[in-house]
Structure 1
Amino acid sequence: MTVHPSLQTYADAWTHSVTAISELVTPLAEGEWNWATPCPGWSVRDLVSHVIGLDCEMLGDPRPIHTLPRDLYHVQTEIQRYMEMQVDIRRHHTAPEMTSELEYTIIRRSRQLRNETRDPGTLVRGPLGSEETLESATRRRAFDVWVHEQDLRTTLNKPGNLDSPGALVTRDELLTYLPKVVAKRASAPANSAVVFDVQGPLEFLRTVRIDADGRGTIDSAPSLGPAVTISTDWETFFKLACGRVKLSSVTDRIKAEGDQDLARAILERFSITP
């Protein structure tokens, strides 16, 4: 148990997901580590390298000194370059090297979480030299690791854990972005409401309300006259929000009632991950 209850939910979610990742990749043959994942340009090995690398950074390990190749087509932005460093430096590691480092990183990180004494508001190192609170960083790791667990499950055709502790953290994390998606990106009209009705392993209904000044808020109360009601399943919701699928490939799994132009504007701008 961590000292601070506000961190425990995220620690438990991370533990559940990273353990699942270890169980998924440990039996893989060497060639299977090269299979492509839903993350552009990343193999199974690359995705696991990313998980290892970011948890090593949470442990305070120094970032690798490494020069990236110039021909990585999927690396276009500074944040992508930042993430790629931990990946590219492990690209020639063997399967036993990968599983051993993953296991060792899980042991170290689990011990850190169990013995955590810092206040959740403590500032810690974030990407590109930024700072964020310990609580935010721990929550983001739980979110990130669960999404990558699902990436691996897609690649290996082993579905599961769609309602796990990590799934709950991911749902809450994605919902915080909905007001921005609806109000700012999709320019929903003032004094309107957009309802999201999600079914499946995780069922929830949320309403984004736009006030007279164009600002968006979100709550769990239904709206009597929404401009749009978007209905879909949880897997489609998170994969679209995390940029894992294109809208054109999942239109048959989404139902939109009301203003169709607004619905399309929202769905076309739904991805929130870098």
Structure 2
Amino acid sequence: MPLHPAAPDDLAGLVAAYQQTTQAVVDLGHSCSEADFALPTACPGWTVKDQIAHVVGMESWLHTGRVPQVEVPDYDHLRHEAGQFVEREVELRRPVAAAKVVAELETVAAQRVAQFTAPGVTLDTVVRGAWGPAPLHRSLPTRILDIWTHEQDIRQALGRPGDLDSGGAAVFMDLLFASLPRLVAKSAQVPPGNVVIIESTGPVQGRAGVWVESQDDGKPRGIPLFSGIAHDGDPDDVFTTITLSTDALTRRAAGRGGVDDIHFAVQGDPAVARQVLEHLVLVP
């Protein structure tokens, strides 16, 4: 079942989704009091202000390539080198007034939109990405996913839900559904002979499935369902359907909270469903 609303796949649509979710972070920031900025979020060690600082820091680095030279303390929430790198931009802005951080994001986001919409730029134009140079058709959706995820972190902390039917939400869901074969067969290690279907009830509605088969080496391999790819099904295959909302699905896929923190319904094998949900983490 195609996503509804569908994720944008043209440059104009992707830029609009990027612009909308960055503007949403800016607007949320403008609405915050000092107490709001200090609220903790689902990212360990990060406040609402830190979330905004992370977004502006990443976009600034991707735009300019400049890495801030700042000493990062040995925070408990930093567990790997990538986390240390990301924390530099947040640490740089901790002494800065929150309103100035929000204003900086507004400026940097406008610069990024100008970069994406410059004459001659196409989806194949290579730009600086979080994991190295990449064409816009790959790098822009991942930036939308990341920023929209942090927008939702901020909304959750502030108690102001929204944008669950936006272009950013649809991009997140599209990338998640495309990754399901890997997440189900390799991350969750669901054994061959199982079919796992995930249904999102909305606001972004969609249905995706994975049939798990055995490779020559005995390891499970995920084959996407509903994609036009034929497979030799077995009448003994065990079907498990997990049904949940866009909010619950994207929070779990963002690694925010545990399985017991979301509401979902299961038809089929509850153990398989839990195994999938435990490993259904798309955002590192």
TM (norm. structure 2) is 0.86
1:91 lines up with 2:103 in the alignment = no
Q: What SS class does the counterpart of residue 35 from structure 1 fall into?
A: coil
Aligned to 2:273: 263
Q: Distance in 2 between matches of 1:221 and 1:232?
A: 21
Task: Quote the residue 1:12 is aligned against.
Answer: 16
Per the alignment, residue 183 of structure 2 pairs with: 181
Q: Is the 8 A contact 1:55 1:109 kept in 2?
A: yes
1:134 counterpart letter in structure 2? L
2:193–2:238 CA contact under 8 A, matched in 1: no
Is contact 2:180–2:209 with CA below 8 Å preserved after alignment? no
- How far off is 1:138 after superposition? 1.0
Quick one: structure 1 residues 96 and 263, their matched pair in 2 at CA, closer, same or farther if it must change by over 3 Å?
A: closer
Consecutive aligned runs of 4 or more in structure 1 exceeding 4 Å deviation: 221-226
Residue 54 to residue 117, structure 1, CA distance change in 2 (3 Å)? farther
What is the alpha-carbon root mean square deviation over aligned residues? 2.2
Task: Tell me, in whole angstroms, the C-alpha distance in 2 between the residues paired with 1:181 and 1:61.
Answer: 32
1:174, distance to aligned residue in structure 2 (A): 1.2
- Residue 43 of structure 1 corresponds to 47
Does 2:224 match 1:218? yes
Alignment partners' CA distance in 2, 1:247 and 1:195 = 17
Aligned counterpart in structure 1 of residue 168 of structure 2, from 166, 169, 174: 166
- Residue of structure 2 equivalent to 1:241: 253
Equivalence for 1:201: 203
CA contact (8 A) 1:7 1:138 kept: no
Secondary structure of the residue aligned to 2:32 is coil
Q: Does structure 1 residue 54 correspond to structure 2 residue 58?
A: yes
Task: Give the structure 2 partner of residue 232 of structure 1.
Answer: 244
> Which whole-Å CA distance do the structure 2 matches of 1:144 and 1:268 have between them?
20
1:170 Cα deviation from its structure 2 partner: 0.7
Matched position secondary structure for 1:178: helix
Output the amino acid matched with 1:8: A
Report the counterpart of residue 103 of structure 2 in structure 1. Answer: 100
Secondary structure at 1:217 match in 2: strand
Distance (whole Å) between structure 2 residues aligned to residue 20 and residue 30 of structure 1: 18
Q: CA distance change for structure 1 residues 127 and 108 in 2, over 3 Å: closer, same or farther?
A: closer
Distance 1:208 1:265, change over 3 A: same
Residue identity matched to 2:80: T
**Structure 2 residue aligned with 1:126:** 129
1:140-159 correspondence runs (5 A): 140-159=142-161
Q: Which runs of 5+ in 1 are unaligned?
A: none
> What's the secondary structure of 1:177's corresponding residue?
helix
CA distance 1:125–1:111, shift in 2 (3 Å): closer
Q: How far off its partner does 1:106 sit?
A: 2.1
In 2: Cα distance, 1:185 partner to 1:201 partner: 27
Gap runs ≥5 in structure 2: 1-8
2:118 aligned with 1:115, yes or no?
A: yes
Matched-pair identity in %: 29
Against the structure 1 CA distance between its residues 161 and 127, is the aligned structure 2 distance closer, same or farther, given a 3 Å change threshold?
A: closer
> Judging changes above 3 Å, is the alpha-carbon distance between structure 1 residues 100 and 191 closer, same or farther for their aligned structure 2 residues?
same
The answer (yes or no) to whether the contact 1:79–1:127 under 8 Å persists in 2 is no
Secondary structure class of the residue paired with 2:280: coil
